[in-house]
Chain A
Amino acid sequence: MKKIKTKLKKPKVIVLSGYGLNCEEETKFAFDSVGGIADIVHINDLIAKPKILSEYQIMAFPGGFSYGDDTGSGKAYANKLKNHLALELKEFLNRDTLIIGICNGFQILTNLEILPGALTYNKNGKYIDRWVDLKIEGESPWLLNSLGIKNISLPVAHGEGCYIIDEKKYKEMKKNKQIAFTYTKGEICNFQNLEKNPNGAIHDIAGVLGYNGRVLGMMPHPERAMFYYHSPLWQMKKIKGNLKKEGDGILLFKNAINYFKNK
């Protein structure tokens, strides 16, 4: 294992797919475009050959609608993993690896109890697609602390993104810098006059961390903010001449890849 790590300059990423996950292609593209080598692997192929997991440094649970949210969002996919790959997941977590769960992937990670808390229906009961502003709170290889960036804007698209956690656990998480992001009133909310918290999440929590920051679960979609023209502000910024070269979301993927490249 160590041999592979030192030999390979490019970190390897496994992006899971199947049963209605649907953001695997753009998630793979994001990792590839910042210097990783990402493979999309169907969960049944991983179940058939669980050993391949040891070849990867990063594991991504992309967004989607696994099992159509039947029996509860993320639950059926998590159950499949529990029933077939519990041991392999444990081994993966025991190594110096990174995991990200985005949207449905976050729901899967909470159902797997790899991350604390749970996600339930948005406060108005409806699916919502809009952009949000995020304040970076936690400490993690995924986050941008090292670059000095405090706020980013990303899109959300979900029906069950309301994060639930009990108060005691929350305090503990806050102390441990396990709250990755909170919804905040920033550029996007000010621009379109939107409320900061799109789903009623407790303490405005948009993403959380586990395993010393190595595991990140988040409702917003960084892979949908790769290019500058993904942002609802891009037309305005273009005219004002302050367009950034790339989207905010790509920074997360860069951080993850750099975590291994800089070793």
Chain B
Amino acid sequence: MISQIYIIPNIKDNRERLFLQSWNSLNLSQKVKSVAIVDSYLIDSKLSNNQILKFSEILTNPIIERFSINKILTKVDKFDYIIEIGFLPGVTDNVGNTARETALDLLHLKKDTDLKIYTSKIFLISGSVKLEDVQKISLSLHNPLIERAYIASFKEIKKYGGLPLKTPKVILEKRIPVINISLKVSDEELVKIGREGILDVTGVRRGPLALDLTSMKVIQEYFKKLGRDPKDIELESLAQTWSEHCKHTIFANPIDDIKDGLYKTYIKGATNLIRKQKGKEDFCVSVFSDNSGAIVFDKDYLVTHKVETHNSPSALDPFGGAITGIVGVNRDTIGFGFGAKPVANVYGFCFGDPLDTRSLYRDKEKTRKMLSPKRIMDGVLRGVNVGGNCSGIPTVSGFVKYDDRFRGKPLVFVGTVGIIPRNLPTPPENKLKRSSYEKRARVGDYIVVVGGRVGADGIHGATFSSVTMDSSSPATAVQIGDPITQKKMSDAIVKEARDLNLYNSITDNGAGGISCSIAEMAKECNGARVDLEKVPLKYPGLQPWQIWISESQERMTLSIPKKKWKIFNKLMESRGVEATIVGEFTNSGKCIVKFKNKTIVDIDLEFLHNGLPTRPLLSKAVANVFQEPISILSKGRMKGGFYTKILEKLLDNKNINSFSFISSQYDHEVQASSVLKPLSGRGRINTDAQIFCPIFSSNKGVVLSTGLYPSYGDISTYHMSACAIDTAIRNAICVGGTLSHLAILDNFCWCSSYDKNRLAQLVESVKACYEYSVGYKTPLISGKDSMFNDFKGYDENGNSVEISIPPTLLISAIGVIKDVRKTVSPEFKNAGDFIYLLGETYDELGASEYYKLLAKMEKNNAIGNNVPKVDLKKNLKTYLVLEEVIQKELINSSLSLTSGGLAIALAKASLGGMLGCKINLEAEPPKGSSASRSIDITLFSESQGRILVTVAPKNISKFEKAVKRIAYKKIGQVYSDDKFIITDLGNKKIIEASVKKLHKIYHSFSNKMQ
């Protein structure tokens, strides 16, 4: 019997405002007046009416809700239209699962009772809107890739007597489970299989394998030697393991004369050299080998970090892509060593302009519309919100950048920091003597999958993200997140099973699902055998290849000694976590997969992991010279108030101003570890580095910061990368970090990576990573690359459009701080304090926010060419001195100069403390510049290695004694009034602004987004 329970609010829904605000911005013909939101539970079961009634009662909080069974109209006020949003068949319905658990509990029913619950949200809309308006609203409410919508007018509902009682059950046709694929075919057909996928018996290609002809030929040869055709699942399996996403071929292959490839030569090469140079001071523990990188925290603990990207999934389904991104990278923490505890999340978003309303399509017929930058932004923000907040992990650190070139594909960086004891207890005597990070699956161990179940969601995610997004991008690549399933699993493993010594190895299921995780762990003992029919499924009917490569979320793979299985399974059961034996680790040298006793995969591990042919890459640089913004400067500069206006415009720039609307919707205080928050001071400015204290009994802390300058890459990716490193490091040192205990992570997001110029830019960028990480002795401990962030499609007029992101290197820094009580925040604190600038300013305005603003005003692309260059030796000295004055507690504030230069730094420090200041530029004549440009340079140059600090009068002499070894200038003083004043060499005011006004401008975009 099918019944539908409606839970109807008794009180005004506080979410109404948000919905109305968003709908009424959709260009509707009429305004929506009001909306009521009803929760619906569609129940397919044999429950009696009385049982349904009891269940309805327990689902209702009578103070704020009432319920109705099967009849919606009798209990709600009149409305004009109804929109019901539910899930498509097979998509994870978290609320439905929880409701089912509650019903079983309440009615004392067995776990396997035939009871299905499908939930949906019903919007009862009032207003004189038309059907097409409602259709627009419906499109803004759901993503057709994973959700369904039902629209009806009040009249229709009345006529039908309610909503149609249709359950979204998955019905998969029965097909031949495994097919043989002949590779005795032409090269053209091989190319087609590689690019578009295996031709299914239904006549449809299954989606990209992302294998090129060279790889296909190697596979052809391998199976020729075996004397048989590969099975579909074997090809799918190879495609997963060999994908760019998993093998990082561009970083691994020889390029030009770099025969060991970029990764080995420059990334690993740098870290190995630094570790050797540091000798006893080396704090790296586990780098590049595990799911996260780990460094020493103190004598008892390690701290881990990993930053991932989830760009392609977020472009298709922003909410789903972002939430699975954040909970996915949480698993890189849980999967580190024997399981680290996630203690902080970080994020970084690069979006198109959210105010941009131009449309993009994936096909010429304009039937597959891309989501708008605003829609992508909203979905991504919500995804990281739900993922992080629900998991009880503080979202400590983050940034957001905007550029038109991110509208084809956004960049969604997500990262997680973990804490793990260096040694784990060995029960029953419980002595701490097991290394927490050296793990190895043993021959004979069970292969156990723990956590969520497998569905058709997330198929071809790994291969999809290795290609350009176009009309063939698969819908199934979308993954659905369920943070609570993962939270239960994470707690059961990290807080309990780990310390009971119940498993020998553990890894995360990410890209490629179990096909990758099991094959990866099989390396530890040289073989695995899987019985695929044992893998628990969300619904029956999946084909073996789908089960094998599905990226359904919230799963870990463990290697469990047979004699420990019972205890392990009992523990998981009692925590509401599903664990299933799916096979056994062997030493056969092979990866064998059986389905109902029939062998369907039989591949040598050696071929699976090392068979991928090397392909030397060649790069060729194309010089790029930009115009200098000469004309506007000669025209406008001398006019009165010019610089004040420029300052206000820059402060209004989304790449500089506040994103407190993001920071304050992410819980950054759970786990009670917060020391330096994402927002600081009276004026709540976004901090460039954050500090938290993960172990309650210790005053040691962890500092996190980032650096990235996508715009600089237009001029030089070498200097872009150097600046990113310098900035991440400087931001960390500014708040109390130390170079002696600081590591960095690299995330390369590139575009058209087979293009020789893009490869040349990549080589330059990687070389800079080597030079500067070695120079600062900050080892690279973990990294990730996403090489094909390109969009190919059509604009509103059906013209073909190609949009590539600007090459982007994100550098994230993580460091350990001896004493968090010495933390220094960026804003001005006290009237009377003296303001100093540490470091030197050069004529480095190329691609600066100032020049970009001028170019925008002039509608040209004259962004100049003098991109900032990093003077390693000088900056190193500056940073060591900065460390010293912080340790001696001689400064009251410290702010790192980044985008927007000195003027923006002063404005932020000032409005952050809601204190005025008087600055005289005489004290800061720029190096090597003509006098006419000196003000522009002084105010807005983005030269690296500079810090703005304030010092209390009583500490002046001690401070000046400490900084005399480096370049520094006393440039002004903090005042208690509202005046922000900068004067030039002749003491003439060149900037005069009100701090309150600056504060208002700084927060205006964020306030609009609230």
A contacts, CB < 8 Å to B: 17-23, 25-26, 29, 33, 42, 44-45, 48, 63-65, 67-72, 75-76, 79-80, 82-84, 110-111, 117-118, 120-130, 155, 157, 159, 162, 164-165, 191-193, 200, 221, 223-224, 226-227, 229-230, 232, 235-236, 239-240
Asked if residues B63 and A164 are in contact (CB atoms below 8 Å), the reply is yes
Which listed residue, B15, B97, B575, B680, touches A121 by the CB 8 Å rule? Answer: B15
Does B214 sit at the interface, judged by CB under 8 A? no
Which listed residue, B18, B98, B385, B825, touches A76 by the CB 8 Å rule? Answer: B98
Asked if residues A20 and B487 are in contact (CB atoms below 8 Å), the reply is yes
Distance in Å from the Cβ of B575 to the closest Cβ of chain A?
7
Asked if residues B574 and A48 are in contact (CB atoms below 8 Å), the reply is yes
> Contacts A76-B102, A80-B105, A223-B672: A124 and B1010 contacting too (C-beta < 8 A)?
yes
Residues on the A chain within 8 Å of B61, using CB: 72, 75, 110-111, 118
Asked if residues B392 and A23 are in contact (CB atoms below 8 Å), the reply is yes
> Contacts A79-B105, A127-B665, A235-B825: A22 and B98 contacting too (C-beta < 8 A)?
no
Asked if residues A71 and B59 are in contact (CB atoms below 8 Å), the reply is yes
**Additional 20 contacts, C-beta under 8 A, given A67-B484, A72-B7:** A18-B575, A20-B392, A20-B487, A44-B576, A64-B392, A68-B483, A70-B95, A76-B101, A76-B102, A111-B61, A120-B11, A124-B1010, A126-B1010, A130-B664, A165-B63, A232-B679, A235-B680, A236-B681, A236-B829, A240-B830
Distance in Å from the Cβ of A76 to the closest Cβ of chain B?
5
For chain B, residues 402 to 457, give those with C-beta under 8 angstroms from any C-beta of chain A.
none
Asked if residues A68 and B1010 are in contact (CB atoms below 8 Å), the reply is no
A127 to B, closest residue via Cβ: B665
A200 to B, closest residue via Cβ: B14
Which listed residue, A18, A129, A232, touches B666 by the CB 8 Å rule? Answer: A129
Residues on the A chain within 8 Å of B1006, using CB: none
Q: In this complex, which of A42, A71, A75, A126 has the most chain B Cβ atoms within 10 angstroms of its Cβ? A: A71
Distance in Å from the Cβ of A237 to the closest Cβ of chain B?
10
CA gap between A42 and B496 in the complex, in Å: 11
CA gap between A90 and B1005 in the complex, in Å: 51
Q: In this complex, which of B59, B98, B576, B671 has the most chain A Cβ atoms within 10 angstroms of its Cβ? A: B98
Which listed residue, A20, A45, A164, A221, touches B64 by the CB 8 Å rule? Answer: A164
Which listed residue, B15, B574, B576, B1010, touches A19 by the CB 8 Å rule? Answer: B576
B contacts, CB < 8 Å to A: 7, 11, 13-19, 39, 58-59, 61, 63-65, 94-95, 97-99, 101-102, 105-106, 385, 389-392, 482-484, 487-488, 491, 574-576, 663-672, 674-675, 677, 679-682, 684, 693, 696, 820-821, 823-825, 829-830, 892, 952, 1010
CA gap between A16 and B552 in the complex, in Å: 30
Residues on the B chain within 8 Å of A192, using CB: 682, 684
A contact patch SS: mixed
> Contacts A18-B488, A229-B675: A164 and B11 contacting too (C-beta < 8 A)?
yes
Asked if residues B665 and A126 are in contact (CB atoms below 8 Å), the reply is yes
B666 to A, closest residue via Cβ: A129
Asked if residues A18 and B672 are in contact (CB atoms below 8 Å), the reply is no
> Contacts A19-B484, A75-B61, A80-B102: A125 and B17 contacting too (C-beta < 8 A)?
yes
Residues on the B chain within 8 Å of A235, using CB: 680-681, 823-825, 829
Which listed residue, B389, B680, B830, touches A127 by the CB 8 Å rule? Answer: B389
Asked if residues A230 and B672 are in contact (CB atoms below 8 Å), the reply is yes
Asked if residues B830 and A239 are in contact (CB atoms below 8 Å), the reply is yes
Asked if residues B14 and A123 are in contact (CB atoms below 8 Å), the reply is yes
Asked if residues A45 and B670 are in contact (CB atoms below 8 Å), the reply is no
Residues on the A chain within 8 Å of B675, using CB: 229-230
Which listed residue, B102, B389, B952, touches A71 by the CB 8 Å rule? Answer: B102
B678 to A, closest residue via Cβ: A129
Residues on the B chain within 8 Å of A79, using CB: 58, 102, 105-106
CA gap between A33 and B458 in the complex, in Å: 46
CA gap between A76 and B672 in the complex, in Å: 25
Distance in Å from the Cβ of A188 to the closest Cβ of chain B?
11
> Contacts A71-B99, A191-B682: A224 and B674 contacting too (C-beta < 8 A)?
yes
Asked if residues A124 and B17 are in contact (CB atoms below 8 Å), the reply is yes
Residues on the A chain within 8 Å of B11, using CB: 120, 164
Which listed residue, A157, A200, A226, A232, touches B667 by the CB 8 Å rule? Answer: A157
Distance in Å from the Cβ of A67 to the closest Cβ of chain B?
5
A42 to B, closest residue via Cβ: B575
Which listed residue, A17, A21, A129, touches B668 by the CB 8 Å rule? Answer: A129
A194 to B, closest residue via Cβ: B684
Distance in Å from the Cβ of B753 to the closest Cβ of chain A?
38
> Contacts A26-B696, A29-B696, A229-B820: A125 and B670 contacting too (C-beta < 8 A)?
no
CA gap between A96 and B899 in the complex, in Å: 60
